[in-house]
Amino acid sequence: MKLIRYDAGGIARVGIVEGDVEDGRVRDGGTDLFDPRPGVLVGTFAELTVLAPIPAPSKIVCVGRNYREHAEETGAAVPTEPQLFAKWANALIGPGESIVHPTITQMLDYEAELTVVIGRRARHVGPGNALDFVYAYTCGNDVSARDLQFGDTQWTRGKALDTFAPMGPWLVTADEIPDPQGLGIKCVVNGETLQDSSTSEMLFSVAEIIAFTSEAITLERGDVIMTGTPPGVGVARSPQRFLHPGDVVRVEIDRVGSLENPVVASRA
**Hey, what CATH topology would domain 52-265 get?**
Fumarylacetoacetate hydrolase; domain 2 (3.90.850)
Mean pLDDT of 136-160: 96
At residue 23 the predicted structure's pLDDT band, cuts being 50, 70 and 90, is confident
Tell me: pLDDT of 79 over 90.
yes
Q: Is the pLDDT of residue 55 over 80?
A: yes
Domain ranges of the chain: 1-51, 52-265
Q: Kindly report the pTM of this predicted structure.
A: 0.97
Identify each DSSP E strand in the chain by its residue range. 2-8, 11-18, 25-28, 41-44, 60-64, 83-87, 92-93, 99-101, 108-109, 112-118, 134-141, 144-145, 165-173, 184-189, 192-198, 224-226, 248-253, 257-265
Residues 198-208 have pLDDT tens digits of 999 999 999 99
Q: pLDDT band at 19, cuts 50/70/90?
A: confident
